[in-house]
Structure 1
Amino acid sequence: MSEKKTALVTGASSGIGLELTNTLLAQGYQVIANSRTITRAGTLTASDRLALIDGDIADQETAKKVVETAVQRFGGVDLLANNAGIFIAKPFTDYTIEDVDRLVRTNLVGFFFVTQYAVEQMRKQHVGHIVNITTTLAEQPVAGVSASISLLIKGGLNSVTKALAIEYASEGIRVNAVAPGNIDTPLHKNDDHGFLSKMHPIARMGRASEVVDAIMYLDTATFVTGEIIHVDGGAHAGKW
């Protein structure tokens, strides 16, 4: 293991992933940042502490390259932030097989390979931490926001967070999740921010930095595993 901590961030070219990458760098981490076209996005510049890996994280070879680069350049993997994801909202009967394929590929397969490779490395180290980004809607659906298939997969990520936390606790690996509400990122640039704000008891959209705060807390909270932290202005608490 290297003296400094090394983090892997997927979906790192914008939004929460970009905010997390910059925060990790500011706090002294070495970072492997991935997105489909991260070297061309212009939001990050490679350096001696930042490696940029282009590619779809759902591709096994891309996932393998992300982890191998961390090991070869920095000596190991301390944190994996599974941030890459898409959200398709529509009535259940309107979903197409193409929608389902996209959701499964990005949100499920995009978690699967890179997490397998990261866990293999963390087991060698006897230490490591994984954080999955899910959604508060997986546990607290809202009338007027039909997104059942998106929530099916994100809810599964909440479940696997707990399962992996139990499976690997004895080997020094922690697994947690952050479940955001509506966060002001490019994902929502064309949406009705007024409507989205009203989906939280704290009636505003969240900031990417607030999700990052939760991730950074979890990475330092060495007695916390299997936890799902909601960064959602209270939306998970119930009907209001």
Structure 2
Amino acid sequence: MSDKKTALVTGASSGIGLELTNTLLARGYQVVANSRTITSAGTLTASDRLALVDGDISKQETAQKVVETAVQRFGGVDLLVNNAGIFIAKPFTDYTTEDIDRLIKTNLLGFFYVTQYAVEQMQKQHTGHIVNITTTLAGQPVAGVSASMALLIKGGLNTVTKALAIEYASEGIRVNAVAPGNIDTPLHKNDDHGFLSKMHPIARMGHASEIADAILYLDAAPFVTGEVIHVDGGAHAGKW
């Protein structure tokens, strides 16, 4: 094992994933960054501390390659951040079979395969940390944002975070989650930022750097596991 920590970041070519990758590199981590076309996206450049892996993380072979790359290049896996995800908001009766298929593939299978491979490696090391990116809406839905099927899976990620934290605590593996509010990333470039800001008691959109800060805190907090940290301007606190 290298004396430097090695992190895996999915959905790393833009938004939160890109910010996190750059932050981890600046903090001395070695990083394996993944997205469907990360080598051609032009946002990251491979180096001696950064490996880029193209591929759909919902596919088992991509997930296996991401973890194998970390082991072969850097000697192990210390941190996995399950950041890749999509959010489809629409009335419940408007969801299509295609919508559900996309949500399951990216948000569920994209978590499942890479986490399985990462846990198997962490068990060999007797240490490791997993952080799942969910959403504050999973615990506090709001009127005017209909997204029930997206929240079904994101809420499940909050639950599995706690279940895995208990399952693997005795093996030195921690599992936590970060539940963002509306974050100012390219995902929202065409949305009404004024409306999105008003969804938080602290009436602004969050910054990707604030999500990265939460992940860094969790990774440096060895007595914290099974936690869902809300970085949402207070939106999870309830109706205001």
Please report the TM-score for the alignment, with normalisation by the length of structure 2. Answer: 1.00
Deviations 1:118-161 (A, max 9, x none): 00000000000000000000000010000000000000000000
What residue number does 1:184 align with? 184
How far apart, in 2, do the equivalents of 1:156 and 1:137 lie?
12
Q: Alignment RMSD, CA only?
A: 0.3
Q: Which runs of 5 or more structure 1 residues have no equivalent in the other structure?
A: none
Match of 2:6? 6
What secondary structure does 2:81 align onto? Answer: strand
Separation of aligned partners in 2, 1:77 and 1:12: 17
Matched letter for residue 145 of structure 2: V
Q: Which amino acid aligns with 1:209?
A: S
Q: Secondary structure at the match of 2:229?
A: strand
One-letter amino acid matched to 1:21: T
Matched, 1:90 2:90: yes
Count of residues in correspondence between the two structures: 240
Give the distance between the partners of 2:73 and 2:37, measured in 1 at CA. Answer: 21
Using the size of structure 1 for normalisation, the TM-score is 1.00
Q: Does residue 28 of structure 1 match 2:28?
A: yes
Q: Deviations over 1:82-121 (max 9, x none)?
A: 0000000000000001000000000000000000000000
What residue in structure 2 maps to residue 131 of structure 1?
131
Letter in 1 for 2:107: N
- Cα distance between partner residues in 1 of 2:213 and 2:72: 29
- Structure 1 residues 19-78: Cα deviation after superposition (integer angstroms, max 9, x where no partner): 000000000000000000000100000000000000000010000000000000100000
Distance 1:180 1:212 in 2: 11
The separation in 2 between residues aligned to 1:167 and 1:14, in whole angstroms, is 32
Query: Separation in 2 of the partners of 1:146 and 1:126?
Result: 42
Q: How does 1:1-240 map to 2 (within 5 A)?
A: 1-240=1-240
After superposing on structure 2, the runs of 4+ consecutive aligned residues of structure 1 that deviate more than 2 Å are: none
> Secondary structure at the residue paired with 2:145?
coil
| Displacement of 1:2 | 1.2
Output the CA distance in 1 between the equivalents of 2:153 and 2:192. 24
